[in-house]
Chain A
Amino acid sequence: PHFVVEFPLSKLTVCFNINGEPGHVLRLVSDHKYSGVTVNGKLIGASAPPGSHKQQRTYFSTITIVADHPKRSYIEVTPTKVILDGRDRIVLPCHSSVTVDSGMLSVAIVQNSNVTVTVGGNISFIILLHQYKNPAPYQRNHLGFYIGNSKGLSRNCHGLLGQFLSEEVGLAELPAEAGTKPSQVLKVKNRSVPVVRKSRRIYSGTQHVDCWFARNNAAKLIDGEYEDYVTSHMFDTGDGP
C-alpha cells in the first residue's frame, strides 16, 4: 500500500510505500493504552504483478479496529462486509447503507463506497471500499484507510500512521555534489531521511497530492523497520516498537 502522512503544522506531506507480504498484518494506529484504539490492516497480494519489471503488489484486504471504551469492541471491515463484535455480533453488508450507533461507537456504511468508524466523538476513521467490476489480474478488491479525526488520540499514539500524528518535520536541502542536483532531506525525530518529490492519487484517485517520498519501505522515516509493525493477528493491540 501507499502511505501518505500530512503534517499540518509543517505544511508538509510525506509519502512512502510498504509492500510487505500477503498475509502480513500491519499496525497502522496503536493507542491502546491511552484512548484504547488500535487499527491493524491485513495484506493480500494480487494474483499477478502489473508488469514483468514490477513486483507483486499488496493491498489491504481487511482493516480491524479495536476500541476499548466504553467496552471492548472489535470492528472488522472487508470490501464486502463489516463485522461489529462487542458483547454480541452484527454483520453488515457493504452493498447497502447502514448506520449502527451506540453512543460512543458508531459505524456508518455508505453503500459500496466507504465505512466511517467513529469512536467517542473525536476519533474517526474512514475506510474506502475499492471494488472492481472487471478486475485485471493485478487488481484485487481492497480497502483504503484514512484518518478523519485524530483529536482523541494521545500524543503517545504509534503505528505506521499513528506515530506521525503529533510530530513536526522539517525539510532541508543537501548541497549538490559535482554534476548532480541538490537533494532534499526530511528532518524527523532527529533523523535525516532522503526524500524525492512525487505525486500521489488519493481518495479513490479523485485527488492528487504532492508529497515528499521516502524510499526503502520508509527506512529512517518510521521508528524501527517496517517488520516491527507486523503483528501476530488481526486484533493484536500490543504497543508499538
Chain B
Amino acid sequence: RVPRQVKTILVKETKPHIEELSIRTTILSRYAFTAVYCAMLNRHSAAAEGLFQFQIPAGAYVSNFTMIIGGRVYQSEVRLKEKRVKQGNGKPKNKESSDTSPEPEGELFKMTANIPGRNRAFFLLMYEELLQRRLGRYEHVTSLRPTQLVSRLSLDVTIIDHSPVTDLEVLPLRNGKISGTGNSGARPNTPKTPGGRTKSEVPVTTVIKNEKTVWKITFSPNIVQQAKISTSGILGDFVIRYDVQRDMGIGDIQVLNGHFVHFFAPKDLPAVPKNVVFVIDSSASMLGTKMRQTKDALFTILKDLRPGDNFNFISFSNRIKVWQPNRLVPVTPLNIRDAKKFIFTLIPNGGTNIDGAIQSGSSLLREYLSGPDSSPNSVTLIIFLTDGRPTVGELQSTSILGNTRSAVQEKFCIFTIGMGNDVDYRLLERMALENCGMMRRISEEADASAMLKGFYDEIGTPLLSDIRVNYTEDSVDYVTQNLFTNYFNGSELVIAGKLTNRSAESLHVQVTASNNDRNIILETDVPLRRLQIETEKHVKAASAAMAVGAKALGSGVMQVLGNPLSSIAEDFVERVWGFLSVKEGLRSRLRSQTSKEREQHTQLATNLSLNYHFLTPLTNMVVEKPEVLLDGRMAPAPTIAPAADEAAPPLNELPGNTDKPQKLDGNMRRQSSSQSNKIGKVERKPAKKSFTISKTSADGD
C-alpha cells in the first residue's frame, strides 16, 4: 500500500514523472559497462520539459545516448568538440570547461527534451569505465539520484571475472552530497556485509552468488522504501567493493579478437622503504577546519610510517619552514614525537608560496639522495598539499612547472593534493603528471582528514619500483604505458595492446622491477589460444547477463537499438585498449611541453574517442531534439533517423560506428611505433632451460 503522504508527493509533482529507472551494469574483468534506462511520462495534456540527468563516475566515458520521444528515435553522435552544432547537445554539464581542467570527481549528464502531452519519453544512456584498484579493492559506484520518487527503480550489477571474486562488499547507501566516485581514497568505516546482505536501512539489497566467478547484486527499492530514504529522490551512491584472487605471478592476461589486456598486481612482496617530504600549506586560508583536519591526518600518517622510512616536513605560506633543515630523519619514537610538535604548532597565516615550497622540498631530497645515508633502491617522494593558488613568489603556472621539473631532475615523484574550490587543479595535476605522481582533489565539504589519510594509504606502501613490462618482439603493437615508476600496495598496473599475429600460439611476457635491494624478473609464456577461449567464455556469460538486463530494460528501446551492450562486450578487450589509450593520450596532452607535441596527442586522443564513441574532453555528444508544437503535439519530422548525415565529417575524423577495429592514421602509427621502440622487447624465450649440472643429487622417481 502506498501511504497517503507518498501519493500526495506524486500528485503534486508537476514535472514529467519517472515511471521507470533501470540501471544495468556488467563488470567484465574490471571493465564496467552500464546502461541506464529511464521512462518518463508526461501526464498533462500540454507539452512539458522532461529532464533526464545522471551522475556518471569521474573516470567513465559516456559511449551512447538515445532518446525515443513520440515514437521517434533520436540517437546521439560523438563529434569533434570544435565543431559547433546548433541542435541540442548532451554534454555533461561539468565538462564545459574540462578541455583545460582535469577531470572533476563526478560528472552530471543532463538532457532536457520536450515531451508531448500525454506521452512518454525514453532515455538510454550508456557509459564505460575501467575500475581502478585502490587500497586493495575495486570500487563501483552508481549514483541513485533521480530527483523524484520513481515507480520502478532497479539497479543490477553483474560481476564476471577471470579470477575468483573475493571480499565482495555492498556498502550502505552513501547519502548526502554528491561525493567522490572512488577518487577520494577514503574508505568509509563500514562493516563487511554479513551473508552478502547490506546493513543499509533499506532492506532491499541482495547479493546472489551464481557461480565461482559470477556475482549478481540487485537493488530495487519500491516507491515506499525510496520515500523512507528521501522524498526528494536523492537516494545516494550505491557502492560495491570487491577484489579478485591474485598471487606473485605475471598477473592476469586476457586475449580477445587480436587485443590483450594485462592486469598486474602482485602480492606477497615486502614494502620498499621510502623517503618522504610532506609539504603542507599553512597559508591563512587553511585556518579552521582545513588545518584541523590536515593536522589530524598527519598525526595518523606519522603513526603509519615504517621503521625503514625517512621523512621531513615543510610548511609554507609567505614563509617556508623546514622542520629538520638540510636532512631527512629516520622513523624513531623521538623523531615522531618532535614531528608531532612541529605539526601541532602550525598556525595558518599569510599567502601561498607554492614555488618556494616545492624548491625547498626538492632541495632537501636531492641533498639526501646524493648523501651517504640514502639507499639507492628506496622510493622517494614529495606529498604536497595546498588549498589555494600561488599568491607569493613565482605566480606563473608555467614557470612553477618548469622550476619544479628542474628541481626534481627525475629523481623523485610529486604527489599533489588540492583542497577546496580555490585551487589551480590544472597546475597540481600537471605537476604530478610531469613528476611521476598523482593528483587528488578534496572537495570543500569533504572530510579532508579521511581523504588525506586515504591518499597516503594508497601511496604509503611502495612494493616495486622501475617496473618494465615487455612482450615478445614483433608480436604486439600499440602497447599502452608499460614503464611505471612505482607500484604501490593495493593498486594495479594495467597494460593493453594489439597482437600483430592473432594466430600465434603464445606470447612471452616479462616484467622486470626492483624491490628494495633485489631485482625481480617475472616471465612466462602466455598461451594465447587458451586465453582467447577462456575470455570468450566470460564474454558469453557477460553477454547472457546483458541480454537478461536488456530484456528488463524496456523492450521498446531494445527493439530499436538491438542489444548494444552485448555487442560492446564482444569487443571488450579492444574497448579496454581504446579506453586506456584515450586516457593516456589525454594525460600526455596535459604533460606536453610544445604545441606540436600537444597537437599530436590531441589528434591521437580525439581519433580514438571518435572511434570508440567516447565522450571525452575532446569530443561533444550531439543529439537532435524533438520539436513539439504549442498544442503539445510533435512537429512532423523531416527524417526519422538521427541526423547523422547533416554534415560530412571532417577529414581527420574517423567514422563513428564501425564494428571492426579502425585503421589508425599515420600520426598514431608513427607515435605508437616510436613508443614501441622505446620499450625493450623480449627476444629471449626462457622456456625450459637445459642446464649442465652435476649428477650429485637426491631425487624421487
Contacts and interface: CB of A to CB of B under 8 A. Distances in A.
A194 interface: no
B680 to A, nearest CB: 16
Contacts of B701: 2, 57, 59, 139
A8 B701 CA distance: 24
Contacts of B248: 90-93, 98
Contacts of A13: 695
A89 B268 contact: yes
Nearest to A165: B696
Interface in A55-79: 57, 59-60
A28 B698 contact: yes
B516 interface: yes
A96 B250 contact: yes
A128 B701 CA distance: 12
Contacts of A5: 695-696
B700 A59 contact: yes
B603 interface: no
Interface string A90-102: 1111011111111
Nearest to A108: B521
Contact of B695 (A92, A100, A116, A209): A209
Interface in B513-572: 515-525
Contacts of B522: 96-99
Contact of B249 (A4, A89, A96, A209): A96
A161 interface: yes
B689 interface: yes
Interface string A198-229: 00001000000100000000000000000000
Contacts, number: 140
A148 B691 contact: yes
Contacts of A91: 247-248, 267-268
B270 A145 contact: no
Interface residues of A, number: 53
Given A95-B249, A126-B693, A102 B517 contact: yes
A161 B268 contact: no
B523 A97 contact: yes
Interface of B (DSSP majority class):
loop
A89 B268 CA distance: 7
Interface string A139-180: 100111111101000000000110011000000000000000
B698 A160 contact: yes
Given A3-B697, A60-B698, A88 B270 contact: yes
A184 interface: no
B1 interface: no
Contacts of B687: 110
B83 interface: no
Most buried by A among B516, B520, B691, B699: B699
A143 B250 CA distance: 23
Contacts of A209: 695
Interface residues of B, number: 34
B688 interface: yes
Contacts of A110: 686-689
A3 B698 contact: yes
- By secondary structure, the A interface counts as strand
B694 interface: yes
B641 interface: no
Interface in A1-48: 1-6, 8, 13, 26, 28, 41
A177 B691 CA distance: 45
B504 interface: no
A142 B249 CA distance: 21
Contacts of A93: 247-249
A88 B516 contact: yes
A4 B696 contact: yes
A1 B696 contact: no
Nearest to B691: A126
A99 B517 CA distance: 13
A209 B518 CA distance: 38
Given A91-B248, A110-B686, A146 B697 contact: yes
Contact of B699 (A87, A95, A128): A128
Contacts of A3: 697-698
Contacts of B686: 97, 110-111
Contacts of A165: 696
B696 A164 contact: yes
Contact of A147 (B271, B523, B525, B696): B696
B695 A6 contact: yes
A122 B64 CA distance: 63
A90 B515 contact: yes
19 contacts: A2-B701, A3-B697, A4-B699, A41-B698, A60-B698, A87-B270, A90-B269, A90-B518, A96-B249, A100-B518, A100-B519, A102-B519, A110-B688, A114-B691, A144-B697, A144-B700, A146-B696, A146-B697, A209-B695
Interface of B: 247-250, 267-271, 515-525, 686-689, 691, 693-701
